Structure 1
Amino acid sequence: MFDWLQHFSDWLIYTIFEIGAETHLGIALNFFVYDTLKILILLFFIVFIMGIVNAYFPIEKLKDYLNKKKLYGLEYFFSSIFGAITPFCSCSSVPLFIGFVQGGIPLGVTFSFLITSPLVNEVAVAMFLGMFGIKATLIYAISGILLGTIGGWLLGKFNLEPLLSDWVKSILANKMQQAAYIEESQTFSQRLPEISRSAWDIVRGVLLYVVIGIAIGAAMHGYVPENFFNQYLGGGEWWTVPLAVFVAVPMYANAAGIVPVIQVFVAKGVPLGTAIAFMMATVGLSIPEATLLKKVMSLKLITIFFGVVTLCIILSGYLFNVIL
């Protein structure tokens, strides 16, 4: 879908600026240009679609249904499934997370989506199947979905809504005013300017965080060598799983991009469970993601979110090493 963006990034960095494709600077800048444009396009598109949904769909009824209906935790599972079938990395998932919160979906349910979306997607599953076989693939996919389900459920029990950022609270507070402005009698063409303006306001509000977050990820992507991690994670000692998770946090990649790296890790002696824990932390707990989330969450909420997900990933890594 974004092949044209990759071609543009290649042309801009390698042809116009004449920076070598094999250099650290070239790799980092190419990553930065591609991901910045991709995420900004996705951000505006998703927020725009959510604006249409909010204008036409009775989101309050859905919110009340999720809050009051006894679904016995299935709402977290369904949200996690939705996260698995959407082809987003962690930073690309944040715009939809904003849309969920803006729409009044319970915070724990939105966390289930946010956790699973970067961890599992069809491209990564296909690559995993070809590289590690069906058993490891099933364990990877099912565990990613369960991780989102359990993590969202746990976070939903903490009553974390007061820890959302003031910016998000102001969006929610203005929602009723916006609803009054967009009357039911208006046609789509009459509603479109207000929907577009609201979407652009949200994009403008997070633009700086997007650029800073992707810049951090691009630097890590271009300059941190793979062998640095193989040297310290291949021993199989008890501490290698938490170490893999903690050293992965500064990294930034999507699941499909990190799978080949995991194959190299395993080929060089890193246990598969440790490697999967590294992959999950890379795509689900990146510093760029935290930078983006700072716009919508307080630091305390980000810490709680990262803490719960980190614990779940570490436990999963130990379990994978036993099973695999």
Structure 2
Amino acid sequence: MFIFEFLNNQLLKMQWLSDLIQYLVEKGFGLNISDRLGGSIHFFIYDVIKIFILLSVLIFTISYIQSFFPPERTKKILGNFNGVTANILGALLGTVTPFCSCSSIPLFIGFTSAGLPLGVTFSFLISSPLVDLASVILLASIFNWKIAIAYVVVGLVLAVIGGTIIGKSKLEKYVEPFVFSNKMMEVEQEELTVKDRIDFAKNQVQDIIKKVWLYILIGVGIGAAIHNWIPETVISAVLGQDKWYSVLLATFVGIPMYADIFGTLPIAEALVSKGVGIGTALSFMMAVTALSLPSLIMLKKVVKMKLLAIFVGTVAVGILIIGYTFNIYGYLLF
């Protein structure tokens, strides 16, 4: 138990990095991290470096594994299953694709055009930006493993239920016709060498970091401001756990925004530290990542309004239920 706690603190929470940045801020800058300015600088530098280190390592590992499952092979695997089992596999597939919601939509189109059931592709579309292995590790590094695992479970359940509802509703006629006519080519995949897989993983790290670095900096900056400059009384007055509307407000504030889950995690961390319920913070994260306005605009290009409305409504209701449930029972996770 001691060894696990030590490894968790040093490898995930990177206590050594926090101590190093504290030394830099206090000895190098002459600031006290107990003060607002010193605390903000420490929070920003520490979180940015920690997130980029963990993100790079995890994306590399996930992408190396992913190189064994190109879209054609994945389609064949998923095609062997149907019903809820297929939805579960579609949702699980989303957990090993480190994409934001906008990046997931082209693959969603590819799976749909390849003939996979609509419900299965929507299970993938929900889970891909919402739950991935990198976010699990980052959640554990910021909060703890109980919260990280619980988040993954409820995220997968939401993806499976959402996809199942859409699949059972027989909404294929609300998908734009060009999606079905744009068939995925069945081509024989060349066997990749270890070097090829390493190069693929390195390129994925570079591509994803290029896409998310700005959101991470903005998210950590907002988190530092909340953590050190906004009084707890102000935040509690708006998003306090005793406010029945806090989850509702956090969800609908999050939807118009666009950020990766890695950019929203520092904000959630700062909100929870100020007394905001864990369910409220997670609802905000889920709304930003799964229902961001840019991704909905992109999705509108490939599905008709009725299907889009059912998708948004189903996911939004699921996020609200998850948020209120976590606020009620979240104390068990700390």
Fold agreement, TM-score > 0.5:
yes
Calculate percent identity across the aligned residue pairs: 40
Aligned to 1:8: none
Question: Helix, strand or coil for the counterpart of 2:115?
Answer: coil
Question: Helix, strand or coil for the counterpart of 1:290?
Answer: helix
Matched, 1:294 2:300: yes
Question: Helix, strand or coil for the counterpart of 1:115?
Answer: helix
How many matched pairs?
230
Aligned to 1:162: 173
List structure 1 segments (4+ residues) > 4 angstroms apart after TM superposition: 57-63, 224-231
Q: Name the aligned partner's letter for residue 163 of structure 1.
A: Y
Contact 1:167 1:295 (C-alpha < 8 Å) held by counterparts: no
Contact 2:139 2:148 (C-alpha < 8 Å) held by counterparts: yes
TM-score calculated relative to the size of structure 2: 0.61
Q: Name the aligned partner's letter for residue 264 of structure 1.
A: A
Aligned to 1:268: 274
Q: What are structure 2's unaligned runs of at least 5 residues?
A: 1-62, 191-210
TM-score calculated relative to the size of structure 1: 0.63
Contact 2:142 2:269 (C-alpha < 8 Å) held by counterparts: yes
Cα distance between partner residues in 1 of 2:95 and 2:189: 31
Cα distance between partner residues in 1 of 2:155 and 2:327: 16
* Cα shift at 1:171: 2.5
Aligned to 1:211: none
Aligned to 1:240: 246
CA distances 1:32-67 after superposition (whole Å, capped 9, x unpaired)? xxxxxxxxxx9xxx9xx64xx3xxx7968964x445
Cα gap change, 1:188 to 1:255, in 2 (>3 Å): closer
Q: Name the aligned partner's letter for residue 95 of structure 2.
A: A
Aligned to 1:33: none
Question: Helix, strand or coil for the counterpart of 1:270?
Answer: coil
Question: Of residues 138, 151, 161 in structure 2, which corresponds to 1:140?
Answer: 151
Cα distance between partner residues in 2 of 1:278 and 1:82: 23
Cα distance between partner residues in 2 of 1:259 and 1:98: 28
Report 1:35-50 matches (<5 A).
50=71
Report 1:155-304 matches (<5 A).
155-171=166-182, 230=235, 232-304=238-310
* Cα shift at 1:87: 0.8
Q: Name the aligned partner's letter for residue 310 of structure 1.
A: A
Aligned to 1:98: 109
Aligned to 1:151: 162
Q: Which has the higher contact order (CA 8 A, sep 6+)?
A: 1
Contact 1:80 1:117 (C-alpha < 8 Å) held by counterparts: yes
* Cα shift at 1:232: 2.9
Report 1:8-23 matches (<5 A).
none
Contact 2:179 2:302 (C-alpha < 8 Å) held by counterparts: yes
* Cα shift at 1:256: 2.0
Q: What are structure 1's unaligned runs of at least 5 residues?
A: 1-41, 190-213
